[in-house]
Amino acid sequence: MLAMEKDFDAKLKIQGNSSNGANVPRSKSFAFRAPQEQFSIQDFELGKIYGVGSYSKVVRAKKKDTGTVYALKIMDKKFITKENKTAYVKLERIVLDQLDHPGIVRLFFTFQDSFSLYMALESCEGGELFDQITRKGRLSEDEARFYAAEVVDALEYIHSMGLIHRDIKPENLLLTSEGNIKIADFGSVKPMQDSRITVLPNAASDDKACTFVGTAAYVPPEVLNSSPATFGNDLWALGCTVYQMLSGTSPFKDASEWLIFQRIIARDIRFPNHFSEEAKDLIDRLLDLDPSRRPGAGPDGYAALKMHPFFKGVDWKNLRGQTPPKLALETGSVEGGSRDNSWNPSHIGDGAVRQIEGSSGATSSSEASGHVTRLASIDSFDSKWQQFLEPGESVLMISMVKKIQKLTSKKVQLILTNKPKLIYVDPAKLIVKGNIIWSDNSNDLSIQVATPSQFKICTPKKVLQFEDAKQRAWQWKKAIEGLQNR
């Protein structure tokens, strides 16, 4: 462990000035605004999980001595080193340190221990924009206009700094307790050659700028065709996000990544009848196959985007002085997160925190944040599920669901792969609880949808009943039948 830690520190020399006077090495030409502190994970009271990524988790964390609440991003050193993600981690830390805009989450400080790196970020108590869309079904045009305008304002700043975010989507658009938007997750950020951000030599992401990153449903066609990244990439994702706000679903949603990519390349967009002409026109222009023709990317810059009729009435000079839309609260939520959403870490930090006050038993990080694991690229789901895949095997659908029995129900991770393979896993013990025997014959394997959230998987020997809180029963049916008919 000690050797691994030293090896990691040698690769991750991004420490900055320390506010407590510790002798921490730093670059002579670069001093961090957000200091590297000598804190321990035990200095924080951990609560609700905000999100889960391939090598990180974001958790609500209250500093015990000050009572200040942060969104603590906890990154697994071993996984980062193994998967060669060190440059991405360094770049995100350096970029966040230099960005200063009300529409971007702020980095306050960092610290580390033998197991993890920690970034203390601004806590956005309003949650994800994705959750607002889910709770309301879809947003009104006035609500979508408000959020889209705040995203445009922040994106204009990001692009003016010579950065491409590359993962704009409702899950990465966070809301303050007042309801204002903050762009988060700069783990895929790409600095352009003329960037105004100071980037250390050993903190650069992919050189070609055309590596596939981001989430399947929001990836622009030029990235799928291996073209270099441009500011237009983020504007395509903005168009997808506006569509999702107004409809409740992403424009290219389908049962598998492959089908999503086919729809993106074909630009297969279908507008619901309730969309206004202004909304349709804005989305249509943002989803132009030519990145340079998207409003905001052309010669007129962001002026062309802000002047679009969809944004009529927006006071761009006093954007954050407006009253945000009312937030829809989570059913049964309590201040600081419900007990079901709290996280009991089993081995983070040198002190190996075992128990959080007010929480009993071990809660799987994925179980607690099942809403985070969505149909997306393999890189965007928790790495723990990779142990159930064979080399070359990829996930088509993955979801935390309830397996319903006569008197009880138990949460399991339901996984469908391209093998094809259909299994469900105990998320706490990380063992396969059931392997549903695959058959291309619908007499031997069929799926029956009872409600948008409840479905049955039927085989000759048994019938399994599941409930998907994200109401994706029809997606499961389409994905399984699509594989059977391939």
Catalytic residues: 167
Strand partners, 96: none
Burial class (CB within 10 angstroms; exposed 0-12, middle 13-18, buried 19+) of 8? middle
Q: Identify the H or E element spanning 401.
A: strand 395-404
Which tokens hold the place of 307? 């002047």
Distance CA 177, CA 126 (A): 5
Strand 173-175 and strand 395-404: the pairing is: unpaired
Contact 13, 30 (CB under 8 A): no
Backbone torsion region of residue 45, taken as left when φ is above 0, otherwise alpha when ψ lies between -120 and 50, otherwise beta: beta
Strand order from edge to edge, sheet including 127-128: 127-128, 173-175, 181-183
Neighbours of 426 (CB within 10 A): 16
- Give the separation between CA 100 and CA 104, rounded to whole angstroms: 7
Q: What is the DSSP letter of 178?
A: T
Instruction: List the one residue out of 205, 107, 226, 217 whose CA is nearest residue 163.
Output: 205
Q: How many residues does the chain have?
A: 486
Residues 6 or more apart from 63 whose CB is under 8 A from it? 43, 44, 69, 70
* Type and span of the H or E element at 157: helix 141-160
Q: How far apart are CA 150 and CA 7, in angstroms?
A: 42
Question: Cα separation of 170 and 176, whole Å?
Answer: 14
| Count helices and strands in the chain by DSSP H and E runs | 12, 17
> Which pairing describes strands 446-449 and 463-467: parallel, antiparallel, or unpaired?
unpaired
Cα–Cα separations (whole angstroms), residue 5 to 66, 116, 355: 30, 10, 25
56-63 and 69-76 beta bridge pairing = antiparallel
Q: Please report which helix (H) or strand (E) contains residue 222, including its range.
A: helix 221-224
Give the Cα separation of 476 and 436 in Å (integer): 14
Taking alpha carbons only, the member of 252, 255, 263 closest to residue 485 is 255
